Structure 1
């Protein structure tokens, strides 16, 4: 799904006709970003399967019934669910958060009504619920609501960042991965990169890289990618020992090479990042990606190697010892436009060193 090219109406239509799919969470869309952008910016979208989809009413799209009647039905349902969220009964809150989770999944009308009726603030409050299922449902509902740009702003304005970090630290595996996914969605907005980076989210995201589910690790890597775009966050990510975990995740068998390399390409822009890549034997892994990786992985690996080589003759020597020249020569002819540019720049730099014009 190239969801970055679809309108919200188009996304809604997809969901309405694919009831087995979980939400189209905007940050997941940036998984495809690794394959579609030339400046290490993510913008794709993918979907997650719903694990508890039975037993709840579905809201069909407004194209299949009278729009006004549909909206009225949604409003009536939402008002009842909001009352249940405010109650002190665990079972009522559990049921209400489950239904809201599903309502927010199905169409844009539901997301708008839920936000207008005050669901976001109540869901944020329930992120601290001692009941694991309520917490999981609440964070997943916020993830589904965050498909809407306006809702992303409302979620941040509801002071959701710290509660989302709480879920990252205390939730069950699905709650943790959906919290990381929600943070990724919020990080689409530039200003949130500063706020989330300064909030203490980096460490639990790196912890999720280590101990999370396969999906959780992917969500954490995407969130760290967004954070690493901002210069002030790069050092925080390196200090949290993320580079070692990212290099481990470059194992092709794990299916996360492209995500890990995209983050490393950003971290290679600062001295601490380059040192960490060298210390964790990341140079060898990057050369292997240049030779054997996907088109986007090769592109980002070449970008990282260019940063390493042009800032340190020591690292440059290591890159050459790892046999980088043949795969770079191939990449300079057959890679993506950005990959060819980086590979050609590296080869030119190697030639300048050979002719005695090295950096001091």
Structure 2
């Protein structure tokens, strides 16, 4: 068999010659054939047909260790090619590979698992592998003493979790993979850590799996928290993402804080590597949903770094997670609202909000609206000049941004003491408060009308004569309020009746304050 370099063994005469050796009953000839296949596939991987694959699959079934080892190496090499991945499984390659995974010989195990790892990257193969009985042996080999076998096996388990269907992940859980993956988080090998962390992160996407993890795996959170201090950025990243997925559940939101997860998350948040920042800020966003976590996160020093992230990157996802976290942190107490404001969150939003993507605008305006709920902060917010951005944004192309901006204006219009800024901004910028009220009243959208009339009522109750006079002089606004106040509620719309009824009541109250009320003629005895 001289001159292998030039010969094409994948077709014609050379392939026929090799096949003759394969199907002879002579073990030496079969060894020679299997080594040749291993060598040529090492050098040249291309799409092959069943004439090439069938002899190799036949060799896999040999009782001879040398033949098995070389044949599985050849198959693993060919399984790098996409078409071959599908063909190997269709030709029945899984059964002999599973048998080889159970071989006492470590080399044979290693090659067989490596081949399955390659086959498992193809979506068409995943369900077949899941149903073939391969997951049990793979899970057992993940605990192998041999590092190469362990790496290949955990890599295969990871590939099985990257799946479009939950079904394949479910099969993996049923095969007992979770305890093994959790145990291997404390492996000393960085690749194994990475494969297991990522696999668990994918498994944790599903709520039922999170329940299973919660019942049985008490070391999970602590191990993932420890891995956020790994020397490998990709492991740190996946550990934070796994915690993010787990923190979709309340139990885990609290547990991560208890396991001292905040300090490593803060370190990742302040790194200069974008994927690390993104995974950390996504994780802290979920953790911040729990009211009991607001103060611990603030006390751990997250406010300033979160505010800094808003302006230091133009990564939309990072900005969204950062401002959403700040809003969560301000949700429950006036103390925390004041601290979020002190950290410069509002100034930063004001500076950026007109130039960021809509998704970020929506989060920023929602955050300002939440802060504006605190009576102690209203004057401070007005003095920061938030009207300069909120008023134009009530005319945004996004319904969410319009609604959030109007809600913030509404919250700021109630019980402020000094209403001079409302007078100053009555017609400017962008049509001012007047333009905003007019637009929302004319919108025909019951929610928008409700916000506008409620805001108007706050302004009328301000007892600021100049402001009340401005409102009274706007014929358009007065006319629209009259129209709304005169509406008859259609009793067919049972569901909407409360909301609409409230809008009508607010409109009638506004007219009374404007001295245009007293129209009770609609009430029939």
TM-score by length of 2: 0.53
Match 1:82 to one of 90, 94, 98:
98
SS in 2 for 1:353: helix
Structure 1 Cα separation of the partners of residues 267 and 308 of structure 2:
13
Structure 1 Cα separation of the partners of residues 225 and 74 of structure 2:
30
Residue number in structure 1 paired with 2:257: 238
Match 1:307 to one of 310, 328, 334:
328
Structure 1 Cα separation of the partners of residues 224 and 74 of structure 2:
27
- Asked whether the 8 Å contact 2:254–2:293 carries over to 1, the reply is yes
Greater RCO (CA < 8 Å, at least 6 residues apart): 1
Per the TM alignment, residue 116 of structure 1 is displaced from its structure 2 partner at its CA by 2.8
Match 2:224 to one of 205, 223, 228:
205
Residue number in structure 1 paired with 2:432: none
Structure 2 Cα separation of the partners of residues 342 and 289 of structure 1:
14
TM-score by length of 1: 0.76
Deviations 1:156-204 (A, max 9, x none): 1112111000111125100111101111221222211222244232111
The verdict on how the C-alpha distance between 1:127 and 1:275 changes in structure 2, with shifts beyond 3 A counting, is farther
Match 1:248 to one of 254, 257, 267:
267
Per the TM alignment, residue 55 of structure 1 is displaced from its structure 2 partner at its CA by 6.9
SS in 2 for 1:99: helix
Per the TM alignment, residue 332 of structure 1 is displaced from its structure 2 partner at its CA by 3.8
SS in 2 for 1:129: coil
Structure 2 Cα separation of the partners of residues 286 and 335 of structure 1:
16
Q: After the TM superposition, which of the residue ranges 292-301 and 214-223 deviates more from structure 2? A: 292-301
| Alignment of structure 1 residues 35-184 onto 2, 5 Å | 56-58=77-79, 60-61=81-82, 71-73=89-91, 75=92, 77-105=93-121, 107-148=122-163, 149=165, 150-184=167-201
Residue number in structure 2 paired with 1:223: 242
Deviations 1:100-135 (A, max 9, x none): 111212x23433432232111111112222222211
Q: Is 1:257 aligned to 2:272, yes or no?
A: no
SS in 2 for 1:301: helix
| Alignment of structure 1 residues 293-332 onto 2, 5 Å | 293=313, 294-332=315-353
Quick check: which has more Rg, 1 or 2?
2
The verdict on how the C-alpha distance between 1:108 and 1:338 changes in structure 2, with shifts beyond 3 A counting, is closer
The verdict on how the C-alpha distance between 1:132 and 1:328 changes in structure 2, with shifts beyond 3 A counting, is same
Match 2:288 to one of 268, 275, 294:
268
Structure 2 Cα separation of the partners of residues 151 and 57 of structure 1:
24
SS in 2 for 1:333: coil
Total equivalences in the alignment:
302
What's the RMSD between the two structures over aligned residues? 2.8
Structure 2 Cα separation of the partners of residues 298 and 143 of structure 1:
30
In structure 1, list runs of 5 or more residues that go unmatched: 1-18, 20-51
- Asked whether the 8 Å contact 2:75–2:115 carries over to 1, the reply is no
Q: Is 1:279 aligned to 2:299, yes or no?
A: yes
SS in 1 for 2:289: coil
Per the TM alignment, residue 227 of structure 1 is displaced from its structure 2 partner at its CA by 0.5
The verdict on how the C-alpha distance between 1:268 and 1:109 changes in structure 2, with shifts beyond 3 A counting, is closer
| Alignment of structure 1 residues 331-350 onto 2, 5 Å | 331-350=352-371
Structure 2 Cα separation of the partners of residues 248 and 297 of structure 1:
15
Deviations 1:53-107 (A, max 9, x none): 9972226445x99x8x65443x2x32222111112222221221112111212x2
Per the TM alignment, residue 336 of structure 1 is displaced from its structure 2 partner at its CA by 3.9
Structure 2 Cα separation of the partners of residues 53 and 276 of structure 1:
56
The verdict on how the C-alpha distance between 1:330 and 1:80 changes in structure 2, with shifts beyond 3 A counting, is same
Q: Which runs of 4+ in 1 moved over 6 A?
A: 52-55
Deviations 1:314-360 (A, max 9, x none): 333332222222211244434344432332233234444334889xx
